[in-house]
Structure formats: structure tokens, C-alpha cells
Homo-oligomer: A and B are copies of this chain.
Amino acid sequence: MAKIVTFGEAMIRLAPPHFQRLEQARSLDVEVGGAELNTSVALARLGHQVSWVSRLPDNPLGQVILNRSREAGVDTTQVQLVNDGRCGLYFLEFGAAPRSSSIMYDRQESSFARVNRDDFHWLNILNGASWFHVSGITPALSNGAEAATALALQTARMLNIPTSIDLNYRSKLWTPQDAGRVMSELLTFCDTLFATENDALQLFDIRGNSFAEVAGELIERFGLKQVVGVKRETPLVWRNRFGAVGYADGSYQETPWYDVEIVDRLGAGDALAAGVIHGLLQGNFTQGLEFGAALGALKHSIPGDLPYINMADIEAVLSGHGLRIQR
């Protein structure tokens, strides 16, 4: 399998059990998550050697994230434990219709956000890698994070390593203007983009009548190879419909819809990205979309952000095995 490098922050996630409001909480369940880490875990479980590059405080909270990444099979040798900044946290409330789930971030002054442009030696880190992946959250965290992201992408391009970016625009981190300006630069070093039509509109003022149209425009403007999106319907909080859409080589394709019963909605998009990367590493974009849709759909059934999913699970979904109990 391939060596894959990802770059981004992970946080401790704290959520009250059983649909409690935070106000009611007497205990909080502890999970860890972060866009690139989530993707890394999915890829590691498919057999790849995945090096997640990050920065964590050298304290028990940072250690929790390090430990769980290792538990999930991710290579953490490029994670720096530093005495600079705190551990990012986020608080999650699980909802039920008509109350949606919601997230409150407490990530200011994190060790990751305090990264400097040159804290990582990308030439060494990317040496021998077959893929580099990052999300749009990473450069949003600070100027240093933006600079480090740019350096990583440039180095990857220089080494002819395929790259992917999950646009993942977060309005609480930066304005559409700032995001548009920064991501426009970064996308010039990108091969595969994960994006929604809405983000394309907000960040790049690209509008179209369809995902295909928007994706085509993105590919043209930034010199991408393919664009991948999520399709999702949310009639309820505990039940959605989910699938993947993609555009490459001038043609649009989409997977079937999956009915998903939602145990934990977080990380579905990150799992989807892992499936697409896995497919592309095998040279098969169509299969990548299928893997991605299956991984993303399955992620909804698993507590926490990390996708504890095996290839056997994916195959069961793709083969239409049905939903009877497996004995």
C-alpha cells in the first residue's frame, strides 16, 4: 500500500451523552477528531501507511490525541509535542428533530495554530509519499498554519506527489474573502478538490446550474484534475440520505443514495475523502467515489469522529448485503 501524508489539527471532542444539552451535562464523552486525522484513520485501516503531521501540546490532552491516533493505526512520528499553546477542544450537542446537532469550538491559542512556516521539514516528511492531503481548515487557523500549508503543498508539487484539498469552509474561522484569497493560491498546487457548490459560490464566486458546471469551472480556474462533492438530504436528524458526486475528464458521475441511520454524523465527509483517495491511488476515480460514498455512509453508524471501518464493511455495503443481522 501507499505512503500518504496529511497535515492538520486535531481536537478533543467533549459531548454529553444521550442527547443532553450541554447545560444538563454531568459527564462528557471524550473523542478526538480533526478533518485530516479522520481521513488518515480511514486510509490507515485500508492498509496504507499514513503519516499525520501535526502539533500538539505536551500535556495529557495532547497525549490523548496522540494515543488515539496511534491506536487507530496512524503513524504519529511527525507529530510535534510542544510546550507552546493549548489543546483545541470542541463541544458537541447531539440533536433530534426539530433540534439540529450543534458544535461549540474552544480552539483558540492551540499549539497547532501557533505553528510557524518552517516548523516542519516537508522535504523529509514527503520523501517517498504517494499522496498529500490537507483541508481548508488548516490554513484558516493562523498565518503560520497558512504558510506551513502552502509550503507543504509546494513541496509536494515539486516532488510530483499528487495532492488533495478538502475545501471545508468554516465561517467561524475566517471570512469568505480571506478564505477565497488564500485557497485560490493553495488550489494551484492541488490535483483533487473536495468541495460543495455553496463553498465555491462563497469563496470563488463560482455559480452554476449543477455540480458538474461548478466543478468544471473549478477545474478550469485552478488546474485541478477532479472535483468531488457530497450529496446529502436531511429530512430528520437521525436519518439522512447520503452519497458522492464527482467530476473529472469532463464527465459527471454520482453514486447511489444510501439511507443512513445516524449514530454520529461527524467525520462523514473526511471518510468520503479517504475512499476517493484510495480509489485514485489505484487509478480508478469511479471506484474511488464508490469507496468514498460507502465509507462516508458507514461513518454515520460509528460513534466518534474516527472511522472504525474495515474493507469488509465497505464490501458489504457495495455488494448490497442488506441490513439483516450478520451471524
Contact = CB atoms under 8 A, between A and B. Distances in A.
Interface in A13-58: 14, 17-30
6 contacts: A27-B27, A27-B28, A96-B260, A99-B301, A103-B326, A103-B327
Interface of A: 14, 17-30, 59-61, 63-64, 67-68, 70-73, 86-87, 89, 91, 93, 95-106, 108-109, 170-172, 232, 234-239, 258-263, 265-266, 294, 297-298, 300-304, 308, 313, 316-317, 321-327
A95 B234 contact: no
A14 B26 contact: no
B325 A265 contact: yes
A92 to B, nearest CB: 9
Contacts of A72: 67
Contact of A326 (B101, B239, B313): B101
A29 B26 contact: yes
Contacts of A298: 98-99
Contact of A97 (B27, B29, B259, B325): B259
Given A26-B30, A324-B234, A260 B100 contact: no
Nearest to A101: B325
A322 B321 CA distance: 32
A77 B237 CA distance: 37
Of the listed residues A59, A99, A238, A301, the one surrounded by the most CB atoms of chain B closer than 10 A to its CB is A99
